[in-house]
Structure formats: structure tokens, C-alpha cells
Amino acid sequence: MARHCSECGAVLVEGAKYCANCGAFAGGEPPGDEATTATYVIDADGELRPVDVDQVAAGGGALIIRSGGGRVGQSFPLTGVRMTVGRSPDAGVFLDDVTVSRDHAVLVQRHGGWFLDDSGSLNGTYVNRKRIESHRLEDGDELQVGKYKLTYLAR
């Protein structure tokens, strides 16, 4: 059975450690029926630490990277009332890729929920495959910012 790249979907050459199409890590053995995606947070030392998704989202929601940039499973707990999304290292949701604007979008808490507002980005911001200017996030929404795909978890 052929394996496919988790980043771009290309068929992987047998025994390859990296995708010939996009360069993403191909991993070891193909996942079985019990494969899962772990969720991580960045601790105070800058190290990735696996956590339970319910713990991450307990404070009011979270964004989980599902594909793009080799950071699958990294989570961003939504805190405060406003968080920026972009390529700027100061962004609350830092997505380091040229397809992401420095100040790509903003997450704002209003009317009892989280809204995703595009900040005039060049490549646009998408929710559930539709380009948006502003969108109230619902549990399970798929966001696309540049090459990154993230899932919103409401808690």
C-alpha cells in the first residue's frame, strides 16, 4: 500500500524519510488504524510538551495546527480578549511561513464568542474553505492561514 505525505498528499517513495515533493518528514512506519495526532504546548523553556486537548482548551478555546510547517499538533490556547495571528514573532499565534502576512489576522472575543478577522492579508484568511473578512468561530471550524491549517476547539 502506498504512503502519502501528510503535508502535501504526494505519494512517498518506498523507504523515503522525506517527501520528494515538499520536503516534509515522512516518518517511519505507516500509521495503523490507531494513529492519533498528539497536541503540544510550548513550556517556559521553549520546549514542546504533550498535553490533553481538553486541558489546552479549558480556558476558553484553542487553535491546533493540523498541517503546515512541520508543527502538526502544536496548540495555541486562546487567552485575553485579542490575539494576533501572523508571521511576526510577537504574534500570539506565530506561523512562520512566507505565505502568512506579518499581521495576517486577529482573534477577538466579542458577543460571547471568538471571532477571526482578516487584517487585509495578501493571501486571505479562510474558514471551512471560504475566504472571510470576519467570522464567528464554532467548535471544529477549520482555519487556513497561508499553508497552515488549524482547527478551532471551543471549551
**Domain-wise residue ranges, the chain:** 1-33, 39-153
Contact 56, 65 (CB under 8 A): no
Q: 75 φ, ψ to 5°? A: -120, 155
Q: What is the pLDDT of residues 49-79, one digit of tens each?
A: 676 655 544 457 999 999 987 788 899 999 9
How does pLDDT run across 120-139, given as a tens digit for each residue? 999 999 999 999 999 999 99
Q: In the prediction, which pLDDT does 118 show?
A: 98
pTM of the model: 0.64
Q: Torsion-angle region of residue 71: left (phi > 0), alpha (psi -120 to 50) or beta?
A: alpha
How much is the average pLDDT of 4-12?
Answer: 78
Look up the CATH architecture of domain 39-153.
Sandwich (2.60)
Distances (CA, A) of 89 to 80, 84, 86, 95: 18, 10, 8, 8
Residue 90 burial (CB count, 10 A)? 9
pLDDT at 15 over 90: no
